[in-house]
Amino acid sequence: MDLAKSGIIGEEINALILLLAMSSRKCADPLSVVCLAKSGIGKSYLMERVAACFPTEDLLENTQMTENSFYYYKREEIRGKVFLIEDLDGAAAVLYPIRELQSKKRISKTVTMKDKNGKLRTLTLVVEGPVSVIGCTTKERIYEDNANRSILIYLDGSKEQDHRIMQYQKELKTGEVNKQEEQLAAELLSNTQRVLEPVKIINPYALLIDLPQAVFKPRRTMGLLLNFIEAITYYHQKQRAEQV
């Protein structure tokens, strides 16, 4: 598959989940993902490799954000974008606006600023989503309100995955890895994203879906499941007949 050809080692299912979540950025209800990993296995590696298969103009990568940083984007500047947060542990200050963007699809804040005449004016800053948020953390117990708005994936920390990655690292140094082929595969996936169009998706089977009673936070889980199905349909829109 093209994801593997782009240089992603192992992690087939997790890579697909990230691909679909990032693809949903232009849907009415985008998916967000939290990547959980033990320290030392490269928690942001998979996120960055999948992100390399997307148009750069649709990605916003931040290594550090302040509490107010989200509010100073232009009104529609981040709509339909993917936020990549390498370390959620260091982004505690922005977890609240992230939750608001995920739930309400917009954030607002009233501030006092001086106009050109030096007079104080009250101004309401409004930033509209929706956005897809992809973050990484080594701490499984992150804030519950953020966790249950996102799909949680556990990165492969097995010895077998260690071996696969180390083998790739050695082959990379010996020139056995065709980097041009990897780049072409990533560009193909990126261009595929560019031809996807905003479409309205109706799921005629939604009423047939039930969750086990033991599911934690069933209301939000059902929403995530339905949105995940929608993301799959959105990604395959060119293989389906469009009905007017």
- Mean pLDDT for 172-182 is 90
Q: How far apart are CA 68 and CA 88, in angstroms?
A: 16
Tell which wins on pLDDT, 119 or 189: 189
pLDDT for the residue 207: 94
pTM of the model: 0.86
Distance, CA of 6 to CA of 52 (rounded, Å):
9
| pLDDT tens track for 4-20 | 888 888 889 999 999 99
Range 105-121 average pLDDT: 82
Whole-number Å distance between alpha carbons of 35 and 150: 10
Residue 134 in contact with residue 18, Cβ under 8 Å? yes
For residue 147, what pLDDT is reported?
A: 62
Over residues 67-90, mean pLDDT? 84
| pLDDT score for 231 | 94
Q: What is the pLDDT of residue 139?
A: 74
- What pLDDT was estimated at residue 142? 58
What tens digit of pLDDT does each residue of 135-153 get?
Answer: 888 876 655 555 667 888 9
> What pLDDT shows up at residue 16?
93
How many Cα atoms within 13 Å fall on the side-chain side of residue 31?
Answer: 28
Least confident of 23-27, 96-100, 129-133: 96-100
- What pLDDT score does 82 carry? 93
Average pLDDT of the chain to the nearest whole number: 85
